[in-house]
Structure 1
Amino acid sequence: MTIASSINSHAESTNPTPTKEYVVDDYANVLSDSTKQVIIDQAKKYQQTAAKPQIVVMTVKSTGGQSIADYADNVLENARWKLGKKGLDNGTLILFAQNGGKNNVRISTGYGIEGILPDGKTNQILNNNKSLLKSKNASEVDNGMQQTFQDVASIVSKEYANKSLKDAKAMKNDNQHKKYVSWGILLFLVLIIVAIAYYLKKNNNDDNDHHNHYGGGSGGGNNGFWTGALLGGILGSSGSGSGGNDFGGFGGDSGGFSDSGGGGDFGGGGSDI
């Protein structure tokens, strides 16, 4: 029984399967019944709207050595996890991992919801609740998760939940377009840096040939250093978190509360602590 329990615990951490409620997946057993009910009640309200956004809260004991961002991406790439409404990419995942006392937390957003929950906003929410989320006290962690959920839900409810399908679709397309433009600008800047690096290296080689011909010489280490620094700065400043892939749709109701996803694409942003 001990071995079976250990195997099940490992499977829940490395390859989680949605619970019956779907929006609450407490594999680390850190959420109180009241917190779970808050999440489920909000999900029921979202089901009654046209846009049907979805906020899923998941807790795991460990990310298995992965960063919480990579773990979230891997979860969201799995066909069993389809958050939000199909075609609108309006799902949000709040993921908590104990990770040996590190208490890592991440908020991942789909394209459709990223406009109202940009990385800066999700980072602010996490940092506002950081003392609770990072606490060694179980009840404080539970309070931190509930508050984090409510902070996300309040924004979704106010800015998105009552949108028409047409407006929600337009928001998703606009957010996706902005992301593509950002990556296009980044690629353009990288190409410029590469061109400058090539020019500097070529010019330095010509100088070295000249100096070596008459004696003496100089290294090109400084050019390589500054090129690397420029590339690193651009790539670092351009990061907008990482979202999962394959966020999907909101499922139907059968009985008390049983939910699931429904297929679609996901690729927004996110942040973590």
Structure 2
Amino acid sequence: MIKIKKILLVLFSAITLIFGFQFTSLHAETTNPVPTKEYVVNDYAKVLSNSTKKQIIDKEKEYQKTAAKPQIVVMTINSTNGQSIDDYANDLLQNNRWHFGKKGLDNGLLILFAYNGGKNNVRISTGYGVEDILTDAQSNDILMKNKPLLKSSDTSDVDRGIDNVFQSVSKIISKRYANKSLQQIKKDQAAKKRTNMIVFIILFIVLIGVILIVIKIAKNNNHHNGPGSSGGDSSWLLPFLIGAGSSGNNNTFSGGFDSGGFSDSGGGGDFGGGGSSI
């Protein structure tokens, strides 16, 4: 009897271990999906039509013939597993599997759709190299124009909405890299970085000047009002001024398919926090 109990215990432990491993693997797959062989099309939620997939892959083939090799990856998932779509996308893009766009140019872009129990959340995430041409405000505008389709309970509407979003962002990306050599693109990006640095320095100097003026006014008011008086104290403004100067880029905005043997992978580009979501 004791031996039978031991055998049953071992069997139960083995079954638990096997199913536990499978569950862990499934969970890892949903929170950290493996790219498909097409790489730029990852329709895990079975939303995209064959025509939409073909357009995305055709555009990728076109981009791979250019010097800059930008990449637009479209992904659909069933759930973000309790995370906001912004956090899910950011975590996803930290993984080496999803570093796309050309390394050094960081010109990748992610369009992510998640059913999330009928919420139909969508996010556009931009690589460092395209944040200046596809701003958060522009991304938000694109998503809002297609919101009725993207939020629809009809899969064909959602497919059309994602296709519209893809077409809009690809026009912007194509315009940036059309008929330009790699040398010219790098030169343009370097110039843009210099401009951004100059703007940042100017704003920082202005901020410091404002803070010093506020401090001086506060001291003068305290001096005129006498000890213990708080009538003209402006020091309460300092936290707001400091906070305004240190805030960064905020993302508040906030059937079988035949790919013709095409296979692709990421190019190693890096992403910041740029983008927008609905």
TM-score, with length taken from structure 1: 0.75
**Fraction of identical pairs, as percent:** 55
- Equivalent position of 1:170 in the other structure: 187
- Equivalent position of 2:172 in the other structure: 155
Picking from 97, 111, 121, the partner of 1:104 is 121
SS of residue in 1 equivalent to 2:34: coil
**How far apart are the structure 1 equivalents of 2:83 and 2:214?**
34
Paired residue type of 2:277: D
| Aligned CA distance change for structure 1 residues 221 and 103 (closer, same or farther; 3 Å) | farther
The answer to whether residue 147 in structure 2 is matched with residue 130 in structure 1 is yes
Question: Map of 1:34-73 to 2, 5 A cutoff?
Answer: 34-73=51-90
SS of residue in 1 equivalent to 2:148: helix
Paired residue type of 1:27: Y
Picking from 259, 265, 268, the partner of 2:264 is 259
- Equivalent position of 1:86 in the other structure: 103
1:158-181 Cα shifts (integer Å, max 9, x gaps): 442432111222233233334434
Q: Which moved more, 1:133-142 or 1:116-125?
A: 116-125
Contact persistence 2:249–2:274 (CA under 8 A): no
Contact persistence 2:215–2:234 (CA under 8 A): no
**How far apart are the structure 2 equivalents of 1:194 and 1:207?**
20
Provide the aligned C-alpha RMSD in A: 3.4
Contact persistence 1:82–1:260 (CA under 8 A): no
Deviation at 1:60, TM superposition (A): 2.7
Picking from 127, 131, 143, the partner of 1:114 is 131
Paired residue type of 1:176: K
TM-score, with length taken from structure 2: 0.74
Contact persistence 1:20–1:259 (CA under 8 A): yes
**How far apart are the structure 2 equivalents of 1:132 and 1:139?**
9
The answer to whether residue 223 in structure 2 is matched with residue 218 in structure 1 is no
Deviation at 1:37, TM superposition (A): 1.9
- Equivalent position of 1:250 in the other structure: none
Paired residue type of 2:75: M
Paired residue type of 1:95: L
SS of residue in 2 equivalent to 1:55: strand
Contact persistence 2:99–2:266 (CA under 8 A): yes
Deviation at 1:146, TM superposition (A): 0.9
| Aligned CA distance change for structure 1 residues 62 and 160 (closer, same or farther; 3 Å) | same
Contact persistence 2:218–2:234 (CA under 8 A): no
Contact persistence 1:111–1:172 (CA under 8 A): no
Deviation at 1:55, TM superposition (A): 0.6
- Aligned residues, how many? 254
- Equivalent position of 1:246 in the other structure: none
| Aligned CA distance change for structure 1 residues 200 and 100 (closer, same or farther; 3 Å) | farther
Deviation at 1:271, TM superposition (A): 2.3
Deviation at 1:22, TM superposition (A): 0.8
| Aligned CA distance change for structure 1 residues 147 and 177 (closer, same or farther; 3 Å) | same
- Equivalent position of 1:249 in the other structure: none
Paired residue type of 1:101: G
**How far apart are the structure 2 equivalents of 1:28 and 1:176?**
38
Contact persistence 2:218–2:233 (CA under 8 A): no
- Equivalent position of 2:13 in the other structure: none
**How far apart are the structure 2 equivalents of 1:184 and 1:153?**
33
Deviation at 1:196, TM superposition (A): 4.4
| Aligned CA distance change for structure 1 residues 130 and 64 (closer, same or farther; 3 Å) | same
Contact persistence 1:111–1:175 (CA under 8 A): no
Contact persistence 1:135–1:141 (CA under 8 A): yes
Paired residue type of 1:82: H
Unaligned runs of 5+ in 1: 243-254
Q: Whose Rg is larger?
A: 2
**How far apart are the structure 2 equivalents of 1:60 and 1:220?**
56
Q: Which moved more, 1:104-113 or 1:17-26?
A: 104-113
